[in-house]
Structure 1
Amino acid sequence: MVKIGNIELGEFPLLLAPMEDVSDPPFRAVCKENGADLMYTEFISSEGLIRDAAKSVRKLDIFEYERPIGIQLFGSDIETMRACTEIATQASPDLIDINYGCPVKNVACRGAGAALLQDIPKMVRMTEAVVKATHLPVTVKTRLGWDDTTKNILEVAERLQDIGIQALTVHGRTRVQMYKGAADWTLIGRIKENPRTTIPIFGNGDIDSPQKALAYKNRYGVDGIMIGRASIGYPWIFNEVKHYLRTGELLTPPTLAARVEACRKHLDFSVRWKGEITGILEMRRHYTNYFRGLNHFKPYRMRLVESLSHEELNGILSEISEAYHQAEFVTA
């Protein structure tokens, strides 16, 4: 049984990665329904939370059915991170996660996210401040290092464990790589092989199929896997991986009717949570993924991304469902 503090996650948990502008409550809802064992909020700016910025505060919204769920924080100032941890704790998540992995310029170049991989002593001090500021378990998500010459994740894992984190997720790329090239899990496996490692170690990067999940589980010995981009528009991947690990058999891919149903639930929740216009606009990034690989879909996709009416969008989704019954679509 894998545990983070007192949180029991099963024998080999599957985690939904915290993804900016993706891992909001509507998206998390469809992933939870389809088997995600532990989820995280989008990353929240410590500076924004201290300023009471509306966007940052809204990201604290969590729902009972999502549990266990973690709030992920990032920042460059230790005192600000300590203070925002206290604020986040009041939202009653199950754990607090620190983002030391985000590679994007407007985060890393401000000294936050993956930038802390260039200053391990500061990373340790910041983590210790967060651990002391909350009664909740604290976890960390990071990368192998800043670049190929500074892959310091083995040192990072030991030092962060020593000051009290209760789980570590490692993305198998450096900051310089961003999301390019293949993720290298070799060092993630070496963390697990380290006899000093006692906390759960989760691997992240390039897991896009049940077969790869099983292969990496066996090869690198991780305690669980975090799935990110492969879940966008395809929340079924969590249950597909679980079924394959349990039986060695692949589940039948979701029908078009199932895709329509999941997309509709996602859309309806997005509109309820964000309001009609914002909810509709922010759903546009998901349509292509929900219906990826379907022939003759382009005209419907164009209508979906052009509409600003919730009622009209539901009508278009109903048309797509009807087209399914008439066998208009064939998977490419």
Structure 2
Amino acid sequence: MSTFEVPTVDITPYVAAGTTAEKAAVAAAVDAACREVGFIQITGHGVDPAAADGLASAIDDFFALPLETKKQWVRPAAENRGYTAPKSETLALSLGVQSETRMKDFFEAFNVGSAASDYPDIALLAEHYAENTWPEIAGFRERIDAWREEAGRVARTVVAIFDDALGLLPGTIEALAAHPIEVLRMNNYALPDGTTVELDEDFIGMGEHTDYGIVTILWADQAKGLQVLHGGEWHDVSPADGALLINLGDLTTRLTNEQWLSTLHRVKPPIHVVDGIGTIQRRRSAAYFFDGDAEATVGPLPGFVDDAHPRVYSDVTVDEHIQAKLRGSRAGVVNTDAAREADRVLNALS
């Protein structure tokens, strides 16, 4: 692989009331990163380290439970909540990429998100706002909710930066997210102690995919595994101490008519190999997906369609877009509305 680094941007001016000039410098750096890579490492985000420590300990407490215990929190795939066991999903299908061996991704996950009860005075599309179920672990919900609050604040700060970076009126993108579909997915890449796997070229922790919404705020430990597609090659990415990774989702790609591209990424679990048999080094992450209001309509904004940039997307509701993605990744139904993203995956694999 060639030399590659995810751009690092200090967003302190947007967190601590910086000057107009300081904010403009941040916005310009974000614009360059989004046009060139689509993944950014942010510092100066203001997240209390104690919240990150609480998230990490909650992840450890839950995934240390026996598999059969965790399975009691499996929920219907359409709800996008609760526990996902290993090899229950294939993320590449969310892009319409066929797979000979379906449901092969080797991660396990636990999802929580915004619920209908959070917005009692609004008639919501219920399938995107399912109520959460919480494992009976002391302090688990409190630790997770503390992180969700911080991640949500960072997401809205990043969206404000996006407005400035794209030359939009303040609040343009956030207007799509008055009661956003919001999901925190905690991921664990590991095998029980003493378990081994036979290796093949298709063995993968999480398949090639783009994220679905506006922006993703990613906490991850520094174990290797996360890879970003850039320049036709896959590159390893690990956060610096205290940094968060953010990446663009498909809805932002639609809004900008592909001037900013959602980033293709995957997880290839670190494996220690002896005589062709491997054991997986544990890796943890938590992705906070900020996806917009379910009923909001998203299409290219007027300033991003001209003779040099013809319109490449029709309008779609967030509901329609997310539903098609989830039917692929969680129910094994190939997404036929993601041809442009699928082409990027297939070109990378050729």
For the aligned pair, the TM-score class normalised by the smaller chain equals under 0.3
Structure with more of its chain in strand, by fraction: 2
Structure with more of its chain in helix, by fraction: 1
TM-score, structure 2 as length reference: 0.23
With a CA cutoff of 8 Å and minimum separation of 6, indicate the structure with the bigger relative contact order. 2
TM-score, structure 1 as length reference: 0.24
